[in-house]
Structure 1
Amino acid sequence: MQTFISFLILISYYQLVAQENSTIVLSTIESELEKKQVAVDLGNTTKSLGSIVAKAISIHGGLRLAKPQKSRFSANFSAKGGNLISLSLATGVPKKTVSRYSFEEANVQLSIAKACDRLVLETLGIPGFFSGRISFLSSLSGKKEIFVSDAIMTTARPQTSFGKITFNPSWDNQGQGIFFTSNRKVFNNVYYLNLDSRKISTIANYRGSNLRAVQNPRSNQVALILSTSGNPEVWLASSPRSKPSRLTRNRSNESGPAWSPDGRRLLVTSDSRGKPQIYEVSVSSGQLTRIPTNVSSHCTEANWNPRDPNKFVFTAAVSGGFQVCEYDFSLRKSRIITKGAVHSMQPCWASDGRHLYFTERSVTGKTRIMILDTELEGAKPAPLHGPSFGNCSQVSFYYPN
């Protein structure tokens, strides 16, 4: 009996040691993550502003909220009436104010976003992305319609109400409007919505399917996907109102054009070898050159990093699902960015080339927009909205110059 009791005590001891070791390991991991982040407290920031700023900080990854005695910077956001927001930064021991800024934009939300971008620049020395806007699709009304929101989706407004099939929203390079595809007039045509005048212009309504328009970030040029020649091909127009010229001439199906940051190169998805892969298409000859992603036999939806032309992200079929991957031209290698049982797709970079928007689709088909800090090791994707936004997908990002 005594031997049996001793055995139980020994088992309990090893269980306790295992639990203690587990706790120690978790604590070590957490502290390592914290070392990579700059600790910030919000000082006397008012509660109404604090919730928005706290969301921005938690999403960024490079910053983290901390108590004043453990923070490196103290950031005070204040509402000064109208759309005016002030930001003061303090640091040191004891903390002393080192800089003050004021921001007055078209609306108070944008003023807060500008202040958050300044916080990122002053504390991390890198540009922020919070002043950007996203367009996306939401099925809140029962049909997929185009919405526009701030970069972290604190609020969103519908831009269309067709009650039809609408997809492929894409900002113009001035942030004045959105290209999109819809069957609002029976067949799939490409349209342009001017956000100021609310006027909708037809960009492409040729025979066959008119599937997509994406504007060059450095010029008026537009890449389109049209099937007027039979199969979906890449066409180029010198401006949105110009007649396009056929660029590719083959029997394969092309889709998803993505411009490089300098506007000189173009990626597309093509099934010229049977299954969809990412190709670079010559903007002068239309010749396709396959990118050796070597991660999947099914690769689509490329999106070029706006700050690092060596990198682009794409969607790949991996282990029975879809995940977002990144390809590096300099390394000629791919890495899988997202993981898990859910599907991750439709990646879109923010303007800082660090944060990545993508669509997460559950096993039941529900979709939501996620954001991921791709540079913070151990960072996890964060949802940008709840069920009140509906099923959301297909982000396009714009940041004002």
Structure 2
Amino acid sequence: MLTRSLAPVVAALTLLLPGVAPSQEELTVYPSNIRPKVIAVPPFATADGTDALGEGTFSDVILRNLQISGWFTPLPDPRLASQQDRSDRARGQTDFAEWGRIGADYLVRGTYAMSSGQIVADVEVFDVSIGQRVIGRRYERIASQQRDMAHAIADEIVETVTSERGIAQSRILYIAQSGPRRELAVMDCDGGRQRNLTNDGATVMAACWGANNTEVYFTSTRDYNPDLCGIFLDGSELWYISRLPGLNLSPSWNPRTQRIALTISRDGNSEIYTMNRDGSSPLRLTHDRGIDSSPCWTPDGRQILFTSDRASGRPQLYVMDGDGRGQRRLTVRTGNNYNDGASISPDGRRVAFSSRLDGQFDIFVMDISGADSSWQRLTNHPGDDEDPFWTWDGQHLVFSSTRTGSKQIHIMNADGSNVHQLTTRGVNLSPVAEPLPPTR
């Protein structure tokens, strides 16, 4: 089994050979330091004269976002929320005592209307224990942005109750495979609105978010060489960044340095380079006989983590300065002799990666120092858990897993708890969570 970084390298090298064609939701048992609040989100009511959008159009999306946040959990029996909501609306008042009796800590209630291509939702959120409203707001969007509105509502609930910003409005890049085709795709952070950004039949290998979160950089074999390309998130334009002979693979963009780190094999061996986002001023950082791959910038742009098999012939994590100086090995723990695919937390303090132990790959987290005592195993399931990547808040990790059979994308809390499966069809891998998104 090859993990995030070396797998694309080997696959790309295979593609360069002449005559070779390109080839349930689940919860963990790990405890969290967060005690989720029980929240009731009954279906939104429709205003007079408005056609219903379908049962749960808002409530289902809001509730799933709140569950993924890790701060909230639903009532054990969701039917109770609908029944009590109907009772309250018939009586014209909210029976907080009854909401508390059925187990709710918070209640979300809303009414929406459609008019002239706009959708308007009036939303109230109540703290059941004190019987007081904590949110009362009107949301307005164009009709096609119903999901965006639901995400915004969920994020406001998270921030109001916890003082932490939610991640519901962020997105995830990933590789979607159907048969032999691997395309670049994007989806909402809850797994909704999955769509391909490429549909040209070429093989896509590895991607990253680019400038202003409106550009995406990725490797494609559209011209029969693993070239580094760029594309706007709306699919309006595609361009080439690096078309050097051999690999142009595994990009990592840093907005502070305005440089892309990537793997290039122009000299016959996989090495780490950096370059500008237009492909200019390439700078080679590593000079080693081993395979150096999968660079990952630290948030401050001062260092780069990467994978190399230079010491033992097996992948290990290394770190170096942004100019290539000070290269040193991070993972030296006995027993974990295959470590790959580093992702650095937004605060620059923790590293998530995939490690092979007892014949399977699992997700681990350690301090940026690499100290053995800091290692924490987050997953331990049948199948392989790989490709970890931090969400912008540093509270969640997206990753790929074969625990349900085919490789699919999941999201979990940063302590390994609260796992949710995001994709179910085909094969999906290499998720990359969006950096801190602008308010949408």
Q: What band does the TM-score fall into relative to the shorter chain?
A: 0.7 to 0.9
Equivalent residue for 1:394?
430
Answering whether residue 408 of structure 2 is matched by residue 368 of structure 1, we say yes
Give distance in 2, aligned partners of 1:269 and 1:35. 33
Alignment of structure 1 residues 249-288 onto 2, 5 Å: 249-274=287-312, 275-288=314-327
Choose from 347, 355, 361 the match for 2:388.
347
- Map Cα deviations across residues 117-158 of structure 1 (whole Å, 9 max, x no partner): 111111122121111011111123651111111111122111
Between the two structures, name the one with larger relative contact order (CA 8 Å, sep ≥ 6): 2
Equivalent residue for 1:382?
420
Give distance in 2, aligned partners of 1:61 and 1:111. 20
Choose from 240, 254, 260 the match for 1:216.
254
Q: TM-score, normalised by structure 2?
A: 0.77
Unpaired runs of 5+ in structure 2? 1-28, 46-55, 76-80, 82-98
The CA deviation at 1:336 is 1.1
Give distance in 1, aligned partners of 2:265 and 2:190. 36
> Which amino acid in 1 is paired with 2:194?
A
The CA deviation at 1:43 is 4.8
Choose from 72, 95, 102 the match for 1:63.
72
**Pair 201,280 (structure 1): closer, same or farther in 2 beyond 3 Å:** same
Choose from 106, 110, 114 the match for 1:73.
106
Equivalent residue for 2:60?
51
Larger radius of gyration: 1
**Pair 93,382 (structure 1): closer, same or farther in 2 beyond 3 Å:** closer
SS at match of 2:375: strand
**Pair 35,153 (structure 1): closer, same or farther in 2 beyond 3 Å:** closer
Equivalent residue for 1:41?
40
Give distance in 2, aligned partners of 1:35 and 1:198. 42
Q: CA RMSD in A?
A: 2.4
Answering whether residue 159 of structure 2 is matched by residue 160 of structure 1, we say no
**Pair 256,209 (structure 1): closer, same or farther in 2 beyond 3 Å:** same
> Which amino acid in 1 is paired with 2:41?
L
- Map Cα deviations across residues 249-291 of structure 1 (whole Å, 9 max, x no partner): 2222111111122222211111120221111111124332111
Give distance in 2, aligned partners of 1:293 and 1:76. 53
Number of equivalences: 365
Give distance in 1, aligned partners of 2:156 and 2:37. 14
Percent identical among aligned pairs is 21
Alignment of structure 1 residues 303-342 onto 2, 5 Å: 303-306=343-346, 308-329=347-368, 332=371, 333-342=374-383
Q: Greater shift after overlay, 128-137 or 290-299? A: 290-299
- Map Cα deviations across residues 90-123 of structure 1 (whole Å, 9 max, x no partner): 1254522232234445722122112111111111
> Which amino acid in 1 is paired with 2:146?
V
The CA deviation at 1:189 is 0.7
Give distance in 1, aligned partners of 2:263 and 2:33. 45
Give distance in 1, aligned partners of 2:404 and 2:107. 43
Equivalent residue for 1:19?
none
Give distance in 2, aligned partners of 1:187 and 1:103. 48
> Which amino acid in 1 is paired with 2:151?
A
- Map Cα deviations across residues 181-203 of structure 1 (whole Å, 9 max, x no partner): 11111111110112246211111
**Pair 78,235 (structure 1): closer, same or farther in 2 beyond 3 Å:** farther
- Map Cα deviations across residues 34-86 of structure 1 (whole Å, 9 max, x no partner): 98111211256352211112222232222112362222221224434325444
Equivalent residue for 2:244?
206
> Which amino acid in 1 is paired with 2:176?
S
Choose from 124, 127, 133 the match for 1:91.
127
**Pair 163,325 (structure 1): closer, same or farther in 2 beyond 3 Å:** same
Choose from 340, 346, 349 the match for 1:300.
340
> Which amino acid in 2 is paired with 1:99?
I
**Pair 34,49 (structure 1): closer, same or farther in 2 beyond 3 Å:** farther
Choose from 218, 221, 225 the match for 1:180.
218
Answering whether residue 393 of structure 2 is matched by residue 357 of structure 1, we say no
Give distance in 1, aligned partners of 2:38 and 2:403. 34
> Which amino acid in 2 is paired with 1:282?
D
Give distance in 1, aligned partners of 2:430 and 2:221. 17
Q: Greater shift after overlay, 324-333 or 33-42? A: 33-42
Equivalent residue for 1:248?
286
**Pair 185,38 (structure 1): closer, same or farther in 2 beyond 3 Å:** same
